[in-house]
Amino acid sequence: MEENKKTEQNQRPAIDRCFFGQKSALKAQYNKESRSIYIGVGKKSDDDKWSWNNAKIKDTEAAEIIRILQGQTDSVSFFHTFNGSSRKIWINRKEEQLFVKIDDNSKGINLGEQEVLKIVLLEAIRLQFFS
């Protein structure tokens, strides 16, 4: 019993937060096994199935997104290539909305969602280094 408790305490918690709209969604995740941060933008088809464009991002890219969320800059973009597949990621602020686009999928999030996303990304960065 005591050994099982120690194992549970040593495990890094995973983060999985999704911001759903009627036809689009944004997710931010932290994978505890790979110690990696992911973002994804989903699009709902007419037959109610979701298709996702996901990207693994570096801690410095997460920090760039946080800078936009804090109003320090208005936009950033990244280009990723992995296993022969490439992704273009754009994050832009327009007035009170933040828009995240990965390839052809995009999602706008409101001010409250932006605050939660900032906390999620800060925690994911913290977990990479301190857990």
In CATH, the architecture of 2-130 is Roll (2.30)
pLDDT digits (tens, 9 = 90+) for 58-117: 999 999 999 999 999 999 999 988 778 889 999 999 999 999 999 999 999 999 999 999
pLDDT digits (tens, 9 = 90+) for 18-60: 999 999 999 999 998 889 999 999 999 999 999 999 999 999 9
Q: What is the pTM of this model?
A: 0.85
Domain residue ranges of the chain, discontinuous segments joined by +: 2-130
- Strands (E) in 21-84, as ranges, are 24-31, 36-44, 50-57, 75-82
For residues 60 and 110, the answer to whether their CB atoms sit within 8 Å is: no
